[in-house]
Structure 1
């Protein structure tokens, strides 16, 4: 067969039939795409169900009648319904019974008096705020803290017994608008006494104080110096913070610091 006949026969030949697709062939399309479409439909249905359920719940609650609250249980009031007749009113508290009257009076009179034979050693009476904060390691920080706490006034008394026994008591009063001033002061000083580790304990409670504690510190010894003993007490009574400092070159007994703390607390 010539070349021309081959080309002519190729032009006139019918195209071959396509191969039949077997019945068991997998369907056309991506399985991953169908899976994502199914998950999306489920998520949309869940959101619609949640929104619809919430709306129906609000609708049911809105249609209900409001439930009345139970009555308050007040069978009787503590104070009389009518003022008492003249002459039958209760007598006002005496200064001894009214602790607030004591605190508002002369704070210096509430300080424990110095023992007989003791000599004054330092300020005795009112103390200035500047003089008070100068006793702290950081006077500027102490001044800012005390002003923030609402410090009002300070009464102090210090004395010396013998050659080396020294005692100092401070009554620091805070303003009524700063109810936590005395408490913050007392707990802060107690925290310092505990954290420095010198007392070796968390202190002992002062009887009748609620939160007061006293501390006995171990002796401090250095070559060329006399022994140094110290005891502290920190008590809060209303808006007044009590600080008691005791030092000596001889041992201070637990009874000495405890009894002094209880006596000072008793005067408030």
Structure 2
């Protein structure tokens, strides 16, 4: 008896739950139908326009473009020769340099020991142009080059400086100093002259630095040792113009 009553209660509970669930379902259906009928009798709600009103623009003066002193691209995209140091008073023009002050791709590659290989390397490094100046003063000769790269794929100006620094460091009897304000710019004095039969000994110094897309090269040669002060001063003044 006890078992029967328990199961009967359980069955009754289940039956009641089913009846309640059925009633709820009917109520939901009825409510939904009523909602549809009410909505059908209403006027359609107007949707907002998809277009937005034009916002008023702020008014003010147009900013003036930066001057060449403020925007270095104005300088470096112009005549690169104007950024070279000027020949000092009393010095003579270097007769081995091109008269127009430009070195094209072939002429610049020809300044290296392996011009054919360098020609291909410069094409790969996106060589753009090179400006050059130089002069002779007493027994000293000097040459300055500003080599510009397009730099669409890589920082070729920095790579060019690193290459020249590598070879300068590789020479024996060499002293070197960092160029202030240039990052990794360096100046070198080779304390032992180059000797060749039939010629006077030649001392040399050089400096290499870069800024933006331009690599600076300075080469100084003389019958007497080149001082640190001289090469550092030249490099500092030239970099200040970039």
Shared topology, TM-score over 0.5?
yes
Query: 1:100 offset after TM fit, Å?
Result: 1.3
- The equivalent position to 1:167 in structure 2, one of 127, 142, 149, is 142
- The equivalent position to 1:157 in structure 2, one of 121, 125, 133, is 133
Partner residue, 2:68: 95
Partner residue, 1:210: 183
Partner residue, 1:194: 169
Structure 1 residue runs of 4 or more that deviate by more than 6 Å after TM superposition: none
The 1-side partners of 2:166 and 2:222 are apart by: 23
Are 1:118 and 2:94 matched, yes or no?
no
The 1-side partners of 2:131 and 2:124 are apart by: 19
Partner residue, 1:133: 109
Query: 1:91 offset after TM fit, Å?
Result: 3.1
Query: 1:180 offset after TM fit, Å?
Result: 0.9
Shift in alpha-carbon separation, 1:233–1:221, aligned structure 2, 3 A = closer
Partner residue, 2:206: 232
CA contact (8 A) 2:204 2:222 kept: yes
Shift in alpha-carbon separation, 1:119–1:84, aligned structure 2, 3 A = farther
The 2-side partners of 1:136 and 1:106 are apart by: 25
Shift in alpha-carbon separation, 1:250–1:83, aligned structure 2, 3 A = farther
Task: Name the larger-Rg structure.
Answer: 1
The 2-side partners of 1:84 and 1:144 are apart by: 53
Q: Structure 1 length normalisation: TM-score?
A: 0.64
Query: 1:207 offset after TM fit, Å?
Result: 1.3
- Which one is further off, 118-127 or 240-249? 118-127
Q: Structure 2 length normalisation: TM-score?
A: 0.71
Query: 1:131 offset after TM fit, Å?
Result: 1.3
Deviations 1:154-183 (A, max 9, x none): 100011001x20000001000041441101
Partner residue, 1:256: 230
Give ranges in structure 1 of 5+ residues lacking alignment: 1-81
The 1-side partners of 2:110 and 2:146 are apart by: 16
Matched residue SS, 1:170: strand
- The equivalent position to 2:123 in structure 1, one of 144, 147, 169, is 147
Corresponding residue pairs, total = 183
